[in-house]
Amino acid sequence: MRAVVQRVRRAEVTVAGDAVATMGAGLLALVGVGHDDGEAEAVELARRMVHLRVFEDDAGKMNRSLADVDGTLGVVSQFTLMGDARQGRRPSFVAAARPEHAEPLVEAVVETARGLGVAVVTGRFGADMEVALLNDGPVTLLLDTEKAF
The separation between CA 134 and the C-alpha centre of its own chain, rounded to angstroms, equals: 15
Q: Reply yes or no on whether 79 is catalytic.
A: yes
DSSP secondary structure, 33-46, as one string: -BTT--HHHHHHHH
Active site residue 78: yes
Interhelix angle 39-51/99-115, nearest 10 degrees: 40
Of residues 6, 14, 72, 79, which has the active-site annotation?
79
Q: Is 87 a catalytic residue?
A: no
The active-site residue out of 78, 112, 122, 145 is: 78
Buried b vs exposed e over 34-43: b needs ≥16 C-beta within 10 Å?
beebeeebbb
Q: Point out the residues that are catalytic.
A: 78-80
